[in-house]
Structure 1
Amino acid sequence: MYRISELASLVGLSRTALLYYEKLNLIKGKRLENGYRVYSDRDVQQIRLIQQLQSGGLTLAECKSCLESKLDKSVLRLRYDELDNEIKRKQKSLALLACLLGDKTSKPWHETLAEIAPDAHIDWLKVQGFDEKQALRVKWLSKDMNEHDKYMQDFMSVFETLEFWGPNSEDDTTKAFNWLNLNPMRILEVGCGKGNSTIVIAKLSNAEIVATDNEKLALEQLEDKIKSHGLDNRITTECVSMTELNFAKGAFDVIWAEASAYVMGVENALSKWKPLLKDGGLLVFSDLAWLTDKPSKESINHWKSDYPDIQTIETRKLQIAKAGYQLEHTFTVSEQAWKNYYEPLEERLHKVAAMMKNSQAIADIQNEVNLYKSHLGEFGYQFFIAKKL
Structure 2
Amino acid sequence: MASDNSAIMDAMLALHGAMERQGPGDDALTRRLLDRVPTLPPEPRIADLGCGTGASAMVLAEALNTPVDCVDAAHAFIAILEERAKARGLDHLIRGHVGDMAKYRHDDGPLDLLWSEGAAYNLTFAGALSAWRPVLRTGGYAVISELTWFCEHRPQKVEAF
TM-score, normalising length from structure 1? Answer: 0.37
Note closer, same or farther for the CA distance 1:157–1:271 as it changes in structure 2 (3 Å cut).
Answer: closer
Query: 1:208 offset after TM fit, Å?
Result: 1.9
The residue aligned with 1:266 is 125
1:279 aligns to what SS in structure 2? strand
Indicate whether 1:238 and 2:24 are aligned.
no
Whole-Å Cα distance in 2 between the matches of residues 131 and 202 of structure 1?
Answer: 35
Q: Deviations over 1:23-59 (max 9, x none)?
A: xxxxxxxxxxxxxxxxxxxxxxxxxxxxxxxxxxxxx
Whole-Å Cα distance in 2 between the matches of residues 202 and 194 of structure 1?
Answer: 14
The residue aligned with 1:167 is 24
Whole-Å Cα distance in 2 between the matches of residues 186 and 131 of structure 1?
Answer: 34
Query: 1:248 offset after TM fit, Å?
Result: 5.8
Query: 1:158 offset after TM fit, Å?
Result: 4.6
Indicate whether 1:178 and 2:2 are aligned.
no
Indicate whether 1:372 and 2:152 are aligned.
no
Query: 1:163 offset after TM fit, Å?
Result: 2.5
Whole-Å Cα distance in 1 between the matches of residues 3 and 142 of structure 2?
Answer: 28
Structure 1 counterpart of 2:128, which letter?
A
Count of aligned pairs between the two proteins: 158
The structure with the largest alpha-carbon Rg is 1
Q: Is the 8 A contact 1:133 1:241 kept in 2?
A: no
Q: Is the 8 A contact 1:189 1:256 kept in 2?
A: yes
Q: Deviations over 1:59-104 (max 9, x none)?
A: xxxxxxxxxxxxxxxxxxxxxxxxxxxxxxxxxxxxxxxxxxxxxx
Structure 2 counterpart of 1:169, which letter?
D
The residue aligned with 1:282 is 141
Q: Is the 8 A contact 1:213 1:241 kept in 2?
A: yes
Whole-Å Cα distance in 2 between the matches of residues 182 and 209 of structure 1?
Answer: 17
Q: Is the 8 A contact 2:46 2:69 kept in 1?
A: yes
Q: Identify which of structures 1 and 2 has the higher relative contact order when contacts are C-alpha pairs closer than 8 Å and 6+ apart.
A: 2
Whole-Å Cα distance in 1 between the matches of residues 126 and 90 of structure 2?
Answer: 33
TM-score, normalising length from structure 2? Answer: 0.83
Residue of 115, 123, 130 corresponding to 1:256:
115
The residue aligned with 1:130 is 2
Deviating 4+ runs (over 6 angstroms) = none
Whole-Å Cα distance in 2 between the matches of residues 131 and 276 of structure 1?
Answer: 30
Q: Deviations over 1:252-308 (max 9, x none)?
A: 10000000000001111111101111111001011122414xx25xx6xxxxxxxxx
The residue aligned with 2:59 is 200
1:284 aligns to what SS in structure 2? strand
Note closer, same or farther for the CA distance 1:211–1:180 as it changes in structure 2 (3 Å cut).
Answer: same
1:236 aligns to what SS in structure 2? strand
Note closer, same or farther for the CA distance 1:247–1:158 as it changes in structure 2 (3 Å cut).
Answer: closer
Higher helix share: 1
Whole-Å Cα distance in 2 between the matches of residues 278 and 131 of structure 1?
Answer: 36
Q: Is the 8 A contact 2:110 2:137 kept in 1?
A: yes
Structure 1 counterpart of 2:56, which letter?
S
